[in-house]
Amino acid sequence: MSLEKAKNHLVKFGLEDRIRVAKESTATVALAAKAFGCEEKKIAKTLSFMLPSGPILVLTVGDARIDNAKFKHAFAAKAKMIKPEECEKIIGHAPGGVCPFGINDGVKVYLDESLKSMDSVLPACGTSDTGVELTIPELEKASCSAGWVDITKTPSS
């Protein structure tokens, strides 16, 4: 069901043919990088947070970590991740497959500045064995992004 929701969303942008289904789990950045044969930073990690104004998703490069001070500055709230058992109900996808495609109404999507260091990335596509390779401009458009934020630190920063 989640893959179909994500695929139906990507059809609107002509990107559905880019979906990859792995033979093994892609539920974590490390597993996805192994399954797709790429560096961890190429995996676009989709993090789900609850703000006082409602749920948000933030996509980052795979090796990035949330910088709590930057998060608080960007969103005027403490970084509070959505509990895994609540994720599917709130976002529309279960942990391991969370992506910005085919999500529930009212969930805002943001892209972290760390993504700009990449030519293309592989976010999940609704399930824990899928991914879709997109350029950053394609990701920005297909995610219906509410904007860019700077909330992470990476090993190279």
* CATH number of the domain enclosing 146: 3.90.960.10
pTM, two decimal places: 0.95
Report the mean per-residue pLDDT for the chain: 95
Number of compact structural domains in the chain: 1
pLDDT score recorded for residue 154? 78
φ, ψ of residue 2 in degrees (nearest 5)? -65, -40
pLDDT score recorded for residue 157? 53
Q: And the tokens for 137?
A: 């401009």
Task: Give per-residue pLDDT as tens, 4-31.
Answer: 999 999 999 999 999 999 999 999 999 9
Domain that holds residue 13: 2-153
Angle at 3 between CA 108 and CA 36, to 5 degrees: 95
The rounded distance, in Å, linking the Cα atoms of 133 and 125 is: 10
Q: And the tokens for 123?
A: 């976010």
